[in-house]
Amino acid sequence: MKIETFALERWMTRWETVVRYDLAESGIKPMTVDELLTLAGRDAALERMLGISLGYSEARGTVELRGLLAALYRDVTPDEILVTTGAIEANFLLFNVLLNPGDHIIVVDPAYQQLQSVPKAIGCDVSLWKLRPENDFRYDLDELEALVNVRTRLIVINTPHNPTGSVLTPVEQERVFAIAERVGAHVMGDEAYRWLTLPGREPFAGPVRDLGERGISVGTLSKPFGLPGLRIGWIAATPEIVRACWSQRDYISLSPGKLNDYLATLAIQQREAIFARTQKIASENLATLEQWIHEREDLVSWVPSRGGLLGLLRYDIDVPSMELADRLASEASVMLAPGAAFGYEHFLRIGIGGDPAVFREGLGRAASVLEAARSEVGPA
Ligand SMILES: Cc1ncc(COP(=O)(O)O)c(C=O)c1O
């Protein structure tokens, strides 16, 4: 498969090991193994971990883990779950199973690039469902109605959304599902940011899998759990789709790592405590960010994120986002992701999941660079 370069990943790898203030990170401050074991009852959990024999694991993920994951949905059995190497493998398998060259599909835009680049590489006819700044990055259901046709095989949504923090409400998501059902298409929900509610925001839609057979949910421990290093994600879909994805996976990664599978079971069991940790970090950073924007409204503005951990900052400076992001990284050791990586100029993507002290300090340093850039080149 010939595929275009993953623009954001390339930009991130250039800076992420050298900057001190990574405000571009898309997840929550990662947990340590020690923190996770302590939540689960350290001595017993450690003893069980040390006794694990490191043979190949169950290909679909252990039945224990799949059972715990299945219980996160309505009426889903362990056979309707496939544990994958992160949400990224789940998405990749699903596209390869569900799509053929020439199929029409609809994908949210802007988007986590994989959601558009893989279907394009397969040879699909990809229509973009735009979240526009002039519409406060809301999903416009009438626009979806206009994009869908009898050839549409798949609608790909992502709620809460990377990079805008937009969400679908439960009613809106039901309408997406009804539109797909009308033409016999599936709805694939990249739910990497599930559970990540923000203080004072309206509730957003639950898993699309719960709406019916044509709903497919992708989940991960990377964002809400702060465990991206475990590389554990999953697919919740019908047994037929899960089996087909499993067949593809036989050629790629075969099975999850055994230690990771075990630590994932602990994480799911301890999720309420983990989400409390996540909420605490995200709400503290959100308050810091809102104050920071308020203090420089002529320079930076945003559509407040409605869920998840990400948002787009619009800056009023006459400089392309890639250049500005490089300057922030090299002069202030601050990473904010360039909007250009999502096809949006004069925006920087910010993540509110980092360590609160680092986040606050990073914003202060970013402000100095933004102010200097504006006085040099003027407003956009
Ligand atoms: C929307 C979205 N989907 C999928 C992924 C991949 O996540 P994972 O670490 O589970 O592979 C990401 C990571 O940033 C993401 O933002």
pTM for the model stands at: 0.97
What pLDDT score was predicted for residue 276?
Answer: 97
Closest by CA to 309, choosing from 228, 207, 367, 365, is: 228
Phi, psi of 104 (to 5 degrees): -90, 130
- 290 and 172 housed in the same domain: no
- 198 and 227 housed in the same domain: yes
| Tokens read off for 154 | 């798949």
What pLDDT score was predicted for residue 1?
Answer: 84
What pLDDT score was predicted for residue 365?
Answer: 98
> Is the CB of residue 37 less than 8 Å from the CB of residue 46?
yes
Instruction: Give the model confidence (pLDDT) of 287-325 as tens digits.
Output: 999 999 999 999 999 999 999 999 999 999 999 999 999
Question: Exposed, middle or buried, 146 (CB in 10 Å: 0-12/13-18/19+)?
Answer: exposed
- 326 and 245 housed in the same domain: no
Distance between CA 85 and CA 72 in Å, rounded? 19
| pLDDT exceeds 90 at position 3 | yes
> Containing domain of residue 362, as a range?
7-32+273-377
- 360 and 241 housed in the same domain: no
Amino acid letter, residue 195: W
- 68 and 195 housed in the same domain: yes
Beta partners for residue 129, in sequence order: 108
Q: Which of 270, 294, 324 is the last residue of a domain?
A: 270
Q: How far is the CA of 31 from the centre of ligand 1 (A)?
A: 17
Amino acid letter, residue 346: H
| pLDDT exceeds 90 at position 219 | yes
- 103 and 168 housed in the same domain: yes
Residue in this structure with the two tokens 């300090």, named with its chain if needed: 361
Residue 286 covered by a domain: yes
Instruction: Give the model confidence (pLDDT) of 165-211 as tens digits.
Output: 999 999 999 999 999 999 999 999 999 999 999 999 999 999 999 99
- 11 and 96 housed in the same domain: no
What pLDDT score was predicted for residue 249?
Answer: 96
Indicate the DSSP class of residue 148: -
Residues with CB under 6 A from ligand 1: 26, 86-88, 112, 158, 162, 190, 192, 220, 222, 228, 233
Task: Kindly report the number of other CB atoms within 10 A of residue 306's CB atom.
Answer: 23
Best residue among 93, 223, 234 to mutate for probing ligand 1's pocket (most ligand atoms within 8 Å of CB) is: 223
- 179 and 42 housed in the same domain: yes
- 201 and 321 housed in the same domain: no
Q: What is the CATH number of the domain that holds 339?
A: 3.90.1150.10
| pLDDT exceeds 90 at position 101 | yes
Residue 2 covered by a domain: no
For residue 214, give the 3-state DSSP assignment: coil
Instruction: Give the model confidence (pLDDT) of 317-352 as tens digits.
Output: 999 999 999 999 999 999 999 999 999 999 999 999
The number of distinct structural domains making up the chain is: 2
- 314 and 330 housed in the same domain: yes
The rounded mean pLDDT for the chain is 97
Residue 351 covered by a domain: yes
Beta partners for residue 312, in sequence order: 349
Q: What is the CATH number of the domain that holds 130?
A: 3.40.640.10
| Closest approach atom of ligand 1 to CA 158 | 1
Residue 141 covered by a domain: yes
| 133-159: average pLDDT | 97
- 136 and 251 housed in the same domain: yes
Torsion sign across C-alpha atoms 179, 182, 185, 191 = positive
Q: Which of 240, 255, 270 is the last residue of a domain?
A: 270
| 46-69: average pLDDT | 97
Look at ligand 1, atom 14, and give the residue with the nearest C-alpha: 26
Residue 201 covered by a domain: yes
Q: Which of 270, 285, 303 is the last residue of a domain?
A: 270
The answer for residues whose C-beta is within 8 angstroms of residue 209's C-beta and 6 or more apart is 73, 76, 189, 215, 216, 217, 236, 237
Closest by CA to 167, choosing from 26, 308, 351, 352, is: 308
| Closest approach atom of ligand 1 to CA 111 | 1
Residue 1 covered by a domain: no
Instruction: Give the model confidence (pLDDT) of 224-248 as tens digits.
Output: 999 999 999 999 999 999 999 999 9
Residue 205 covered by a domain: yes
- 306 and 157 housed in the same domain: no
Q: How far is the CA of 10 from the centre of ligand 1 (A)?
A: 15
What pLDDT score was predicted for residue 7?
Answer: 87
End-to-end CA distance of the chain: 40
